[in-house]
Amino acid sequence: MAKKQQSELTTAEKKKQQKRDLILESAKVVFSKKGLIDATMKDIIEECGISRGGIYLYFRSVDEIFLAVLEQRSKRKFDDVREMIMEQVPFETILNKYFSDHRKRLLHSISDGMLRAVYEYYYTHKTEASSSLQQAQLSETKRTIHEIFQVGVQQGVLKDENLAVIAENYMFVIEGLGILALTGHITEQTIDDQIAVMRQLLPYRN
């Protein structure tokens, strides 16, 4: 579907989007290297080779670029899972893929520069902006989980009972594991144990 939209764009619009993507890609490199606090517009300009005037047509500040990178990142994060949902792949396959994507993410988050920058953002910005970002990321997690559950209901695997509440439990556990991962207090065992508990909550038909 994303590709179809792409083909409907005019050449000028496509060029504009390519330039925006280039800025975001370059910014990601800078953030991963320097974190958020030490990153400057100058760094990003040098990385992408677009003029100072050119970049300000797209973004007014490092923070604005940072938020755009995050948005793109969170959209892409579970692309495979989203595609499986659309294609109505068997529920268990999607759920397994979702858990294994998180597993990978959690085990590698310590070495993930962008994730460190996200926490830098949480900890250094005014409560309101960062808490609404946190809020948005929470809702996004819950929404994806709930969509996976809906596939289970449609395929007759899950009863349609309490699924929004269970999705919220998953959301809390996944976000909490993320905090542990980032501070280095996580093991594969911890992740697998929590996934087992989450599975236990599902209202399977018979």
Nearest Cα neighbor of 78 from 14, 23, 153, 146 is: 146
Nearest approach in angstroms of CB 175 to a copy of itself is 6
Residues 64-83 that bind a copy of itself (CB under 8 A): none
**Which segment (14-22, 66-74, 77-85, 198-206) binds a copy of itself by CB under 8 A?**
198-206
Nearer to a copy of itself, 61 or 162 (CB): 162
Length of the chain (residues): 206
* Interhelix angle 127-154/91-108, nearest 10 degrees: 150
Q: Which residue has the tokens 């692309």?
A: 79
Nearest Cα neighbor of 102 from 141, 157, 151 is: 141
Nearer to a copy of itself, 57 or 196 (CB): 196
Please count the residues of this chain forming the interface with a copy of itself, following the rule CB under 8 A.
39
Q: Which of 32, 72, 74, 134 binds a copy of itself (CB under 8 A)?
A: 134
Nearer to a copy of itself, 97 or 116 (CB): 116
Q: Annotate 45-79 with DSSP letters as a single string.
A: HHHH---HHHHHTT-SSHHHHHHHHHHHHHHHHTH
CB–CB of 73/65 below 8 Å? no
Q: Which of 63, 71, 83, 168 binds a copy of itself (CB under 8 A)?
A: 168
Task: List residues near a copy of itself by CB under 8 A.
Answer: 116, 119-120, 122-127, 130-132, 134-135, 138, 162, 165-166, 168-169, 171-173, 175-177, 179-180, 182-183, 185, 190, 193-194, 196-198, 200-201
